[in-house]
Amino acid sequence: MMETGDISCLRTQQNFGAPNKKIWRHNPLHYNGKSDADGRPIYDQPEMKGVWNGLMEPHVFSRFENIQIDLDLHFPVWISGAYEVNDHVNIGVKTVNQGNLMKRTHLLKDLATILSRSPSLKSLELTISVEVFAPPSSIQQFKSTICNSVADAFIESDVLYPLELLTNVEKFDLKVIENAASTIHCLDDMYRKLGPKTAKVVEELKRAIERKI
Report which of residues 85 and 191 the model is more confident about: 191
HSE at residue 65, side-chain half, CA atoms within 13 A, is 3
Q: In this structure, are residues 127 and 69 in contact, taking their beta carbons and an 8 Å threshold?
A: yes
Strands 123-133 and 172-176 come out as parallel
pLDDT of 105 reads 73
**Phi, psi values for residue 66, rounded to 5°:** -125, 115
Predicted TM-score (pTM) above 0.85: no
> Among residues of the chain, what percentage have pLDDT more than 70?
73
Report which of residues 91 and 128 the model is more confident about: 128
| Most confident of the ranges 96-100, 107-111, 126-130, 169-173 | 169-173
What is the identity of the amino acid at 64? F
Question: For residues 127 and 69, what is the distance between their CA atoms, to the nearest angstrom?
Answer: 6
Digit-coded pLDDT (tens) for 10-29: 988 765 668 999 999 999 99
The domains of the chain are located at 2-17+64-210
